[in-house]
Amino acid sequence: MPRFVFYTASTLNGYLADADHSLEWLFAVEGGEQPDMAGFLADIGVLVLGSHTYEWLEDHEHLIENPAKWKSWYAERPTFVFTSRRLPAPDGVDVRFVAGSVADALPAIRSAAGDLDVWLVGGGDLVGQFDDAGALDEIQISLAPVTLVSGKPLLPRRIESDRLRLSEVTRNGQFVDLKYTVLR
């Protein structure tokens, strides 16, 4: 059974993105080494994104014009994008657009992941919907030394401390990396 892992970066005051859905604040932080994405992705069978996260990646990295870039990062992993709109997909990339509830999509996501984990890329509200459906097993956050006046919250749900167990803390330059197990 795959685990559902929310792995992301956040500002000190709990924002994933600014009010315009941008992550530019993250790339301006000095002193953080690139995390071992190859090691992380080795255990990932499926990616899940909300439409704003997908569009930001698409626009920022020009993935429609350069689908080879997507493949070099995420290989042949199926990607589920939750959206109520029609969005383009890079040629030759397994992007599956999902409209509807997380609970309804869980069987297809689990099937596509096989024995590997599911990376909940974001956004925070979508990850909250996975928690509501009982499908959030781990939260990994890289806290950046940045604060924003407003933006998209890390996880706009109430998850009490009796459900979260700190399992790892590491320092990565200016970042603090936290890993929590989410109990049901």
Domain that holds residue 70: 4-8+17-172
Residue 98 near residue 75, CB atoms below 8 Å: no
On the question of pLDDT at 3 being above 80, the answer is yes
What is the structure's pLDDT at 35?
67
What is the structure's pLDDT at 6?
98
pLDDT above 70: percentage of residues in the chain: 97
Joined tokens for residue 52 = 């704003």
Closest CA to 120 of 97, 100, 140: 140
On the question of pLDDT at 123 being above 80, the answer is yes
In a domain, 184, yes or no: no
- Residues 121-131: what's their mean pLDDT? 96
What is the structure's pLDDT at 34?
64
What is the structure's pLDDT at 21?
86
What is the structure's pLDDT at 31?
67
In a domain, 92, yes or no: yes
- Residues 18-39: what's their mean pLDDT? 81
Looking at the structure of the chain, the number of domains it has is: 1
Distance CA 169, CA 153 (A): 21
In a domain, 70, yes or no: yes
The CATH number that applies at residue 129 is: 3.40.430.10
What is the structure's pLDDT at 69?
87
Residue 7 CB-density burial (10 A; 0-12 exposed, 13-18 middle, 19+ buried): buried
In a domain, 179, yes or no: no
In a domain, 178, yes or no: no
39 contacts: CB under 8 Å, gap ≥ 6:
none
Most confident of 18-22, 46-50, 68-72, 91-95: 46-50
